[in-house]
Amino acid sequence: MEKRTAYCGEITEKFIGQEVILHGWVQKRRDLGGLIFVDLRDREGIVQVVFNPEFSLSALQVAESIRSEFVITVKGKVAARDESVINTKIATGKVEIVASEVTILNRSKTPPFYIEDGVNVSDELRLKYRYLDLRRPEMAETFKMRHTVTRVFRETLNKQGFYDIETPYLTKSTPEGARDYLVPSRVYPGSFYALPQSPQILKQLLMTAGFDKYYQIVRCFRDEDLRGDRQPEFTQVDLETSFLSKEEIQAITEEMLVNVVQEAKGIKVQTPFQRMTYHEAMARFGSDKPDVRFGLELVMISDIVRDVPFKVFTSAIEAGGVVKAINAKQAADKYSRKEIDALGEFVGTYGAKGLAWLKVEENELKGPIAKFFDEAKQVELRAALGAEAGDLLLFAADSESVVAASLGALRVKLGKELELIDESELAFLWVTDWPLFEYDEDANRYVSAHHPFTLPRAEDIPLLEEKPEKAMAEAYDIVLNGYEIGGGSLRIYQKEVQQKMFRALGFTDESAEEQFGFLMDALDYGTPPHGGIALGLDRIVMILAGKTNLRDTIAFPKTGSAVDPLTNAPGEVSLAQLDELGLNIQEKE
Amino acid sequence: MEKRTAYCGEITEKFIGQEVILHGWVQKRRDLGGLIFVDLRDREGIVQVVFNPEFSLSALQVAESIRSEFVITVKGKVAARDESVINTKIATGKVEIVASEVTILNRSKTPPFYIEDGVNVSDELRLKYRYLDLRRPEMAETFKMRHTVTRVFRETLNKQGFYDIETPYLTKSTPEGARDYLVPSRVYPGSFYALPQSPQILKQLLMTAGFDKYYQIVRCFRDEDLRGDRQPEFTQVDLETSFLSKEEIQAITEEMLVNVVQEAKGIKVQTPFQRMTYHEAMARFGSDKPDVRFGLELVMISDIVRDVPFKVFTSAIEAGGVVKAINAKQAADKYSRKEIDALGEFVGTYGAKGLAWLKVEENELKGPIAKFFDEAKQVELRAALGAEAGDLLLFAADSESVVAASLGALRVKLGKELELIDESELAFLWVTDWPLFEYDEDANRYVSAHHPFTLPRAEDIPLLEEKPEKAMAEAYDIVLNGYEIGGGSLRIYQKEVQQKMFRALGFTDESAEEQFGFLMDALDYGTPPHGGIALGLDRIVMILAGKTNLRDTIAFPKTGSAVDPLTNAPGEVSLAQLDELGLNIQEKE
């Protein structure tokens, strides 16, 4: 096979007059006036090849048998296209290759779908023929970008003195966190490894070992029921450092992300990134990962409506809840009563029992609850919400968490519908000062808001025993355009603090020792103060590539039921394999 | 915490007079004449800190409570050491830090073994306290080198236009190759994923997808009984390209390895690497991965001894076997009769029924079999083996494979014992022209010498049906100092060839379709000619770091029974977990 001289997508005017050799796939063949035109595609783009009997009859004859997706080698001379047939949509649109030789390297059946962007085909079919789906230019672009993103993360960390250190995938199942994928042991039948949900403890032990700065771009596994944006395996940019402050770790993270955005998108992002406490984010945006590209903030109006005679408001407040509102500027005309009712149903899925509303007119407020507001209250409300004629005011009254969830989701929905979001903007945000625990109603105990190794604020350590719900964590999440793209924290490095943490989580000292004894041991042997962060690579690529589904950023993803339609994994295995592992499959009931 | 100004190991004379802040671990504390000396260690090395009451009494008082492996922060001024106490063994040996402040960041119990190189401690204990073991300077060095090696592999491939693309770890179990690690599915109880033994098929599908140049530094898994140099999970530098020749893929591989050796060891390796066919390697060295740093080659002497009246030789030849010899130059005096008998036992483990020998003297050959050689035969033998007075000649007579295995192993043993090996040399070697199949006596069928996707030599494709044992592969392995460090090949890209291959391996078309249908499909849709290679990262690091065990190159390795003594993986899991997976553990008999 002759050596390629360039990629198809690279052939621009500067090649005119040169002989080139290209390898690629036939995007399209057209026969026109005794000539054959072939659009030849490789990972870098498409170029037009023309077979002209006056130039090479033998090449033309071969070209006659060419079909879509055949793999061919073409030798030819680069020529300028006639002005009249210049294609301004592609980089190679001003030239064409006049073929002197062509070889068919491999044939193709007619693909089950067109190899082009935006083609309407089921996800199942795309995944079954993933090797065809990946040929589409937008997929090729995404994986080129993913490569760049990965490379720049690494280069930044390499320059900063981080060591790339691998941790095992066959590790131990731990009870905290999500459900583990298990791997049966053959040497010890009845025993199991677990695939890691993250290398959290092991990277902490690398700090105990003195490596000082660790990173790894590492696969992690969670056997959860999949939602649209979850996959059973996902990739984390995982780092850990010793002796650094939260602010220093955040600065390293910002440097990585700035470099990544610069190289992947050509955009210069300003640092330091915006910062906001968890409580502020929840109060203003009803979300711990707010999209700060637009306003529509939540405004607390409990004090204003406390004595308004509308029972929904007053009873919520009396029950310890709150009343909040958002002002959809100039949206009064955009939502009919029926459409507003639909918004009410929407917030219902977040627990709200209803959505009160008012439309603002020049001199009055209109809507079902207007009658409850006397003139003084109307003035007060207008002032609090900055309301002007044409605005739509939307109210939720419930517990603080239901109001936050409902109006937070409504805010995002309205932001999209009202086109308030600048899609070209990349709004990074640090969310800081997290609570250490959440109360898990099902388990009837406190669980870690992040993980059990998160350092409590020094002054809150006594709270671990008395009022865990009040304890704050040295944790920081990073948010991009409303997606959580990473979470980090300083870690516990003193044994007595870790013990208190496990106790607060409901472990006995014995059960903590049994599950986490090796970590507790390590804390006995000179573990330095340390902390780190883990970033979700798939999601970062998804946002930068302008995709809305993680599957489009993963070469061979799984479906919502964790199946790979390409290989048909998972599949059956032989009884001999099961016997070696000492396992039986349970009879179905 | 104050910010570190430098690593301990970096403090050389150019820092004299500067104030520095260091974080590190106490290697050793000595009290001497009212002063306290602390060797402070971090990942970059060790520096001496002196606590002098005249300089800071409070620091000295803190230092009094310091013990080995405490984590401390020291602030102090860098001073030149007195000539008399300069330590020429370490980079920081001409200076010391005169401490003005010290803070104990964390304490340590007395470690279970000394944190120093060459310490005599069981592997089990080292692995249980791996975070301490990794503090030893030689371990820190190895992982720094591993980081460099990984980085340079990536940088070279990035520059060459390769995309780093991730493939799934939850994939499908295939019957060819080693034993899979299985992962039970919860969504489909009774179904299993498999952890990949390599991303072989998926990387080929990435070629079908048109990515052109793929690489990944990727974990692979084999559930085999472990030998000293095997681990259940290992790391591969895995690459695949389209449209390139064997020679082009070899050149890319050489460029990577040259760059890696240059940056990791500062050694410039010459290219192109030496090349040798499989048959030549077996004939001359009795090994498909010969260490070519020394001679002691095997010499075929069947023709010479055919009519020598020594039954061991003649009957081996009559049975279709061979007689070969190696000449251990000037080793006659170094091996007593008893020691030669021990060599005989050694080759016995490789199947040889004995080891005949002769010592060469000025005018005669001496030894038990000398009497079978008349003068003419002695002359012939001396000439064939280049024998001179003082040489020791060693003979094996058996089937070709037993002779190769026996003398090949003996050659390596003698090479070490006779100190013929320049340990500083890095001898890379391509072994080419491999047979496509090996006959598996147990399975009573042909199995792939490499894997079922290896391209046969074009002219040998008809042999697949008739004489598979004669078919040669477009395969190339790379060897370093007698270790196979990688294997590559061109791959089958035409469906009919892949079908013939599966038939030759004993698959029916139906069973091939069932197991590899997705690959067969892909071959129907324009798969380009492609090929690649996979290099064993752990082993490359092992050789470059001068280690002899893979465990020393892996941060958290497993023992010979695939156990991690640190985390105690594998471990028991709950019945609830098993129920979710629809599995029962078999009762022990």
Encode pLDDT of A136-170 as tens digits.
Answer: 999 999 999 999 999 999 999 999 999 999 999 99
Residues of A in Cβ contact (< 8 Å) with B263: none
Phi, psi at B331, each rounded to 5°: -105, 0
- What pLDDT score was predicted for residue B227? 67
Q: pLDDT value at position A173? A: 83
Closest Cα in chain A to B521: A129
A371 touches chain B (CB under 8 A): no
Contacts with A152 (C-beta within 8 Å, 6 or more apart), sequence order: A256, A259, A260, A262, A263, A264
* Token reading at A10: 């690279």
Confidence class of residue A443 from pLDDT cuts 50, 70 and 90?
confident
- Which residue in chain B has the smallest CA separation from A492? B106
Our CA angle for B190, B193, B194, nearest 5°, is: 130
Phi-psi region of B34 (alpha: psi -120 to 50; beta: other; left: phi over 0): left
Cβ separation of A577 and B525 shorter than 8 Å? no
The H helix count followed by the E strand count for chain A is 17, 23
To which residue do tokens 């029924």 refer? Answer: B353
Query: Is B484 annotated to bind ligand?
Result: yes
Q: In angstroms, what CA-CA distances link A355 with A318, A326, A350? A: 18, 11, 11
Query: What is the structure's pLDDT at A589?
Result: 62
d(CA B180, CA A574): 12
Give the pLDDT mean for A462-473: 93
A511 to chain B, any CB pair closer than 8 A? The answer is no
* Amino acid A230: pLDDT: 83
Q: Is A154 on the interface with B (CB under 8 A)?
A: yes
Is A163–B143 a contact, with Cβ atoms under 8 angstroms apart? yes
Number of Cβ within a 10 Å radius of residue A244: 23
Annotation-wise, does A222 bind a ligand? yes
What would the 3-class secondary structure string for B438-487 be? EEECCCCEEEECCCCCECECHHHCCHHHHCHHHCEEEEEEEEECCEEEEE
Nearest residue of A to residue B164, measured between CA atoms: A147
Angle at A218 between CA A273 and CA B189, to 5 degrees: 120
Residue in chain A closest to B156 (alpha carbons) equals A151
Contact B302, B323 (CB under 8 A): yes
Please, are residues B127 and A521 in contact by the beta-carbon 8 Å criterion?
no
CA–CA min distance B320, chain A (Å): 39
**A189 touches B: beta carbon within 8 Å:** yes
Strands B95-106 and B45-51: parallel
Do the Cβ atoms of A169 and B169 come within 8 Å?
Answer: yes
Per-residue pLDDT tens over the stretch A53-85? 999 999 999 999 999 999 999 999 999 999 999
pLDDT at A472 over 90: yes
Q: Which token pair is A409? A: 């989701």
Sign of CA dihedral B48, B53, B56, B58: positive
The distance of Cα A523 from the centroid of its chain, to the nearest Å, equals 34
Q: Do B168 and A232 contact (CB within 8 A), yes or no?
A: no
CB B152 within 8 A of CB B258: no
Do residues A532 and A476 lie in contact, with contact meaning Cβ atoms separated by under 8 Å? no
Write down the pLDDT at residue A517. Answer: 93
A539 is in an annotated binding site: yes
CB of A422 within 8 Å of a chain B CB? The answer is no
Q: Residue A366 corresponds to which tokens in the numbers above?
A: 């209109």
Q: What is the mean pLDDT of residues A31-46?
A: 96
Candidates A106, A233, A554; nearest CB to B528: A106
For residue B244, what pLDDT is reported? 97
Say whether the ipTM exceeds 0.90.
Answer: yes
Residues of A in contact with B151 (CB under 8 A): 154, 158, 164
Mutate to test the interface with B, among A74, A182, A224, A513 (most CBs of B within 10 A): A182
pLDDT at B443 (0 to 100) = 82
Sign (positive or negative) of CA dihedral B383, B385, B388, B389 = negative
Report which of A543, A542, A545, A492 is spatially closest to residue A519, judged by C-alpha positions: A492
Q: What is the pLDDT of residue B376?
A: 93
Distance between CA atoms of residues B500 and B471, nearest Å: 12
Contact B87, B46 (CB under 8 A): no
CB-CB contact of B180 with B194 (8 Å):
yes
Distance from CA of A451 to the nearest CA of B (A): 18
CB burial string B535-560: b at 16+ within 10 A, e below: bbbbbbbbbbbebeebbbbbbbbbee
| C-alpha–C-alpha distance, residues A194 and A183, integer Å | 6
State the smallest CA–CA distance between residue A106 and chain B in angstroms. Answer: 6
Residues A135, B209: C-beta atoms closer than 8 Å:
yes
DSSP letters spanning A107-130: -BPPPSS-SSTT----HHHHHHTH
3-state helix, strand, coil in chain B (%, to 5): 35, 25, 40
Residue of B187, B289, B170 whose CA lies nearest to B221:
B170
Q: Return the HEC string of A55-108.
A: CCHHHHHHHCCCCCCCEEEEEEEEEECCHHHCCCCCCCCCEEEEEEEEEEEECE
The model's pLDDT over A202-232, given as tens digits with 9 standing for 90+, comes to 999 999 999 999 999 999 999 988 766 689 9
**With a CB-CB cutoff of 8 Å, which residues 517-546 of chain B face chain A?**
518, 521-522, 524-529
* Test mutation, B70, B166, B246, B519, chain A, max A CBs within 10 A: B166
Question: Least CB-CB distance to A518: which of B42, B219, B566?
Answer: B566
| Chain B residues within 8 A of A249 when measuring between CB atoms | none
CB atoms within 10 A of CB A246: 18
Are B586 and A586 a contacting pair at CB < 8 A? no
pLDDT per residue of chain B (589 residues) written in tens, 0 to 9: 789 999 999 999 999 999 999 999 999 999 999 999 999 999 999 999 999 999 999 999 999 999 999 999 999 999 999 999 999 999 999 999 999 999 999 999 999 999 988 888 998 999 999 999 999 999 999 999 999 999 999 999 999 999 999 999 999 987 767 899 999 999 999 999 999 999 999 999 999 999 999 999 999 999 988 766 689 999 999 999 999 999 999 999 999 999 999 999 999 999 999 999 999 999 999 999 999 999 999 999 999 999 999 999 999 999 999 999 999 999 999 999 999 999 999 999 999 999 999 999 998 999 999 999 999 999 999 999 999 999 999 999 999 999 999 999 999 999 999 999 999 999 999 999 999 999 888 888 889 999 999 999 999 999 999 899 999 999 999 999 999 999 999 999 999 999 999 999 999 999 999 889 999 999 999 999 999 999 999 999 999 999 999 999 999 999 989 999 999 999 999 999 999 999 999 987 6
Domains in chain B: ranges and CATH = 8-106 (2.40.50.140), 142-276+427-553 (3.30.930.10), 294-417 (3.30.1360.30)
- Give B83 to chain A, closest Cα distance, Å: 31
Type and span of the H or E element at B74: strand B71-80
Question: Is B579 an interface residue toward A (CB < 8 Å)?
Answer: yes
Q: Tell me if A129 and B186 make a contact (CB, 8 A cut-off).
A: no
Q: Which of B41, B170, B525 is facing A569, going by the closest CB pair?
A: B170
Is B43 annotated to bind a ligand? Reply is no
Residue with the two structure tokens 């060591």:
A163
Which pLDDT score is estimated for A228? 62
- The stretch A94-109 carries a mean pLDDT of 97
B586 contact residues in A (CB cutoff 8 A)? 189-190, 579, 582-584
Residue A269 C-alpha from the chain's centroid: 19
CB contact A174 to B (< 8 Å): no
Cα of B355 vs its chain's centroid, Å: 30
Whole-number Å distance between alpha carbons of B137 and A212: 14
What pLDDT does residue A441 have? 82
Cross-chain residue pair A1–B562, CB shorter than 8 Å: no
